[in-house]
Structures are given as structure tokens and as C-alpha cells.
């Protein structure tokens, strides 16, 4: 599913979200696909659902480090540890992407203000992308695996945060959500469809 986010000057004012069937050149294209975050050819950066130490670990982090090779782990050491909601950017090493943006999402049920921290993780990831002038970023569903965030709630926070930030994005024009299961894709599409204004 693809939508285009247009208009707005930050803070979500005057923003419209419309479903589209083709890529568009106006506005920001936001799409959901089923797939593997390590196979996002053509995207400037993929986002890593990292741990505080920026070490390989399981899930997305394990897959990203396996595909990127040991050079990524080495580069990450200088940036660790990071705090919940923070984001740092490194090279992509052997991944098909020039950059990896590592974010630490909240552990659901263990941290205060998880919704705020999850929103910060998305906002900070987009900030790192903008600082490098990147045009395309692919995200996994941060915090919804080992960190236990309910998928529907996390999707609502992720999409609202991106729509609210859209007016301030200068270089980023394409945002993709890569969902690992059919079910997670269906939930994300349902949430996104509700945000589409008819
Ligand atoms: N591509 C896309 N999505 C994936 C992939 C993949 N290759 N693998 C898993 N997912 P998680 P978190 C989905 O656990 O909840 C790690 O051990 C997965 O189904 O990777 O933020 C780190 O070291 C889920 O929907 O991230 C941290 O300690 C989503 O990606 C901790 O887990 C996120 O799952 C981070 O936990």
C-alpha cells in the first residue's frame, strides 16, 4: 500500500494523506511492504531496531549486522551506548544501502512514556537522514519484536509521527515500512488506511 503525504508546514497542519497506486513526484511517498530489511536495494538508508550497545543481537539488529559484515559492528563501537529514543547513523558496509540509522526503541511495559519514546525514535531517525541529505529511508516496525510493543499501537505512533514531521522534511521523499509477516503488514495497512483522508 502506498500513500502520499502533502502540504503542511510542520506540526501536521494542513497535511493531506491520500492513497496512490503509482509512485508520485509531489509530496512524500509512504509505503508498506512485506519483506526483509536487509534487502532494500535502492534506499539510501535502512533503520536498525538496535540495542543500547549497538551490538548484533537478534531480530532486525542481528539480520542487519550479518548482512553488513563485521565492519558495521566495529564502526558502531564509537557511538555506543545510546539512550532510548536516540538515533545514530553509520555506513552500510556490505548492505545494499550506503547508510544504516540505528535507533533504540522503548521496551514495552518496562519504560515510562513508551509512546513518547517510540515517537522520538522515528523523529530522530528522520533527523539523521535529513542531516545527510538522504532521499529514501526504509524502517522496520521498531520495538514490536523483542521489545514487545503491540503492533497496532506502534503503527499508529509511527505513522502519526511521520505525518506530523512531513512538513519539515527537506530531502527525504520516500519512506518505506518493511514488515516481516503478512499479519504485521495487514495491521499496518489497516492503520494507514484510517489515516487517509477521503
Ligand atoms: N526484516 C524486517 N523486519 C524484521 C526482520 C527483518 N530481517 N527481523 C525481524 N523483523 P526486533 P525490537 C521484525 O526484535 O522489538 C534485538 O535483539 C520483527 O518481526 O528486531 O525493537 C536487538 O538487539 C518485529 O516486528 O526489534 C534489541 O535488543 C520488528 O522487526 C531488540 O531486539 C522488530 O523486532 C530490539 O527489539
Domain that holds residue 104: 2-197
pLDDT at 7: 82
Domains in the chain, number: 1
The model's pLDDT over 105-114, given as tens digits with 9 standing for 90+, comes to 999 999 999 9
- CATH number of the domain that residue 170 is part of: 3.40.220.10
Instruction: Check if 141 has its Cβ closer than 6 Å to any atom of ligand 1.
Output: yes
Cα 121 to Cα 75: distance, rounded to the nearest angstrom: 20
The model's pLDDT over 47-102, given as tens digits with 9 standing for 90+, comes to 999 999 999 999 999 999 999 999 999 999 999 999 999 999 999 999 999 999 99
Report CA(99)–ligand 1 centroid distance (Å): 18
Pocket mutation for ligand 1, best pick of 49, 109, 121, 185 (most atoms within 8 Å of C-beta) = 49
**Cβ count near 135 (within 10 Å):** 13
Average pLDDT, integer, range 193-197: 87
Pocket mutation for ligand 1, best pick of 34, 111, 140 (most atoms within 8 Å of C-beta) = 140
pLDDT at 36: 98
Closest alpha carbon to 40 in 96, 2, 103 = 96
| Contact (Cβ atoms closer than 8 angstroms) between residue 3 and residue 19 | yes
pLDDT at 12: 54
Amino acid at each position: 500500500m502506498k500513500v502520499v503525504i502533502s502540504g503542511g508546514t510542520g506540526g501536521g497542519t494542513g497535511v493531506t494523506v491520500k492513497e496512490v497506486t503509482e509512485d508520485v513526484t509531489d509530496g512524500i511517498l509512504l509505503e508498506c511492504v512485506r519483506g526483509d530489511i536487509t534487502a532494500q536495494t535502492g534506499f539510501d538508508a535502512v533503520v536498525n531496531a538496535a540495542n543500547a550497545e549497538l551490538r548484533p543481537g537478534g531480530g532486525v539488529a542481528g539480520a542487519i549486522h550479518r548482512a553488513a559484515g563485521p565492519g558495521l559492528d566495529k564502526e558502531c563501537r564509537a557511538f555506543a551506548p545510546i539512550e532510548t529514543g536516540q538515533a545514530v547513523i553509520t555506513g552500510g558496509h556490505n548492505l545494499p544501502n550506503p547508510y544504516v540509522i540505528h535507533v533504540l526503541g522503548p521496551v514495552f511495559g518496562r519504560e515510562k512514556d513508551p509512546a513518547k519514546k517510540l515517537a522520538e525514535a522515528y523523529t530522530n531517525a528522520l533527523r539523521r537522514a535529513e542531516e545527510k541529505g538522504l532521499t529514501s529511508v526504509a524502517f522496520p516496525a521498531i520495538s514490536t519484536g523483542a521489545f514487545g510493543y503491540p503492533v497496532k499501537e506502534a503503527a499508529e505512533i509511527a505513522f502519526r509521527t511521520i505525518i506530523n514531521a512531513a512538513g519539515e522534511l527537506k530531502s527525504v521523499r520516500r519512506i518505506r515500512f518493511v514488515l516481516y509477516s503478512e499479519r504485521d503488514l495487514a495491521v499496518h495497512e489497516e492503520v494507514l488506511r484510517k489515516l487517509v483522508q477521503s
